[in-house]
Structure 1
């Protein structure tokens, strides 16, 4: 169980991760998506310390497994108001979880008492066909229009791209200021639009995005996710950030302690993804 006071002090750097699969929040480990299990949380009613921002681990009471809204409330105990949502259904060529995403943002916004709006970074695997089928949804604020407590940015991920041209397609439909470039790696190898006749490397991917007016990037090495090993991912971030100055970086993976967050920041990161370090120990689901 994490020490809440340790993490509350750096909440302005943290982005809470929500991996969404079939409407459930699941626990990610090393990018092995077929092995993800629903996140289990301690029941709020078991909190014996009302003045604490964090419930005691001793209760071991299972709340609704995989409830994404409960996970948002959990993150808020650490002062986190920024969230990264990965739509694992769409990222594995399934349907975009529009209703689940809408419901999550609406419920979270209604529950929020933060002075600043929640910020949502959403990855639905933007490909040309996804953009074409969901263009009105991507450009409409209707699903959180009932609340002033949310802002949404969409991720154009290299992992999902057929070619670098998807960056131009996304930029035509969405304000480039509301787009974040996804720069995906596995074991230090760039996962780019290799479906194209001429596979693009990370430098070509980033250069096209810069030309389109995108200036924020989210770099993830999926092999580090949920493992507690961040060194390789930090090294990858540092190398890319040094070659591409002027970008605002979000990254993470393998963070277990605040010193891991510091390492990402020192490598050029503005915001750091966090999940496993703040979650209860994963228990087998029955």
Structure 2
């Protein structure tokens, strides 16, 4: 395996934040945010779709240290898949967990179910968020260094359920979250996920970076190859969410693109 430090591609590679989507105990492949169509992952790197197997591949073959985990059942207000999350963490990956936390009550419930695992960071996603007051409460409970706000979009429009957020632009939502004390923000258009046509968010991220240069911006969605990480990084994203291109073998441990 080529050394990360010696390979010229490692600059972009080091920005990758690998993703595991969980659904009904399996690691699944996302496609355009249409969760009912998600299917168990398939990969040339391993057999089966067990979350721990994917985590082992990310750690042992690629050398990743962190992993974004989306528990889709928990997000859909079903049950937290604590055993799968723990099966990922046991391989030594720092878990960035999106489990549908939108209130302090949900956070405390999930924290209790994961008493043997303290996620590295908690994702608070716009689609799950109850209110702006909940952001303040969650920031106090989680701490701003472990709190990550996810600005969820669908075809460029904020993806939100509550009236409190309706009518706000993506920029306005980001501005308000940062004003409340958010230090890290994911900008993700779910319509791009798994499609392999590149991200749609570079202009938005560049605009938000110009407005808030001290915030840690995270992009993703639609990466086809390692070079697709570059425009997001150039726009100002310090980390880039990637799943399908890693699982399919389009981004390899040897940096062959």
Could you say which TM-score interval applies, normalised by the shorter chain? 0.7 to 0.9
Q: Which residue of 2 aligns with 1:135?
A: 108
Aligned to 1:255: 223
Could you tell me whether the CA contact under 8 Å between 1:164 and 1:200 is conserved in 2?
A: no
Question: Hey, what does 1:120 align to over in structure 2?
Answer: 95
Q: Residue 13 of structure 2 contacts residue 226 of structure 2 at CA under 8 Å; is this kept in 1?
A: no
What residue number does 1:71 align with? 54
Q: Answer yes or no: is the 8 Å Cα contact 2:193–2:221 preserved in 1.
A: yes
Q: What SS does structure 2 have at the residue aligned with 1:177?
A: coil
The TM-score normalised by the length of structure 2 is 0.83
Which of 90, 93, 108 does residue 91 from structure 2 map onto?
108
Matched, 1:188 2:190: no
Match of 2:13 among 11, 14, 19: 11
Given that 2:199 and 2:223 are in contact with CA atoms closer than 8 Å, whether structure 1 keeps it comes out as no
RMSD: 2.7
Q: Provide TM-score, normalisation by structure 1.
A: 0.75
C-alpha displacement of 1:204: 4.2
Q: Would you say the 8 A contact 2:51–2:84 is kept in 1?
A: no
2:202 corresponds to which residue?
234
Moved more, 251-260 or 92-101: 92-101
After TM superposition, give the deviation of residue 213 of structure 1 in Å.
2.7
Other-structure match for 2:24: 22
Q: CA deviation at 1:196?
A: 3.1
Aligned length: 243
Shift of the 26–6 alpha-carbon distance from structure 1 to 2, 3 Å rule, reads farther
Quick check: 201-210 or 158-167, which moved more?
A: 201-210
- Give 1 or 2 for the bigger CA radius of gyration: 1
Q: 1:144 to 1:266 in 2, by over 3 A?
A: same
**1:85 CA drift (Å):** 0.5
Q: Which runs of 5+ in 1 are unaligned?
A: 43-54, 56-61, 110-117, 146-150, 282-286
Q: C-alpha distance in 2, partners of 1:201/1:161? A: 16
Match of 1:37 among 18, 36, 39: 39
Distance change (3 Å), C-alpha of 1:140 and 1:189: same
Uncovered stretches (5+) of structure 2, i.e. residues with no partner = 250-257
Q: 224-233 vs 238-247, which deviates more?
A: 238-247
Measure the CA separation in 1 of the matches of 2:166 and 2:36: 30
Q: CA deviation at 1:197?
A: 8.1
Alignment check: 8 A CA contact 1:18 1:86 kept:
yes
Change (3 A) 1:94 1:141: closer
* 1:115 corresponds to: none
Change (3 A) 1:211 1:35: same
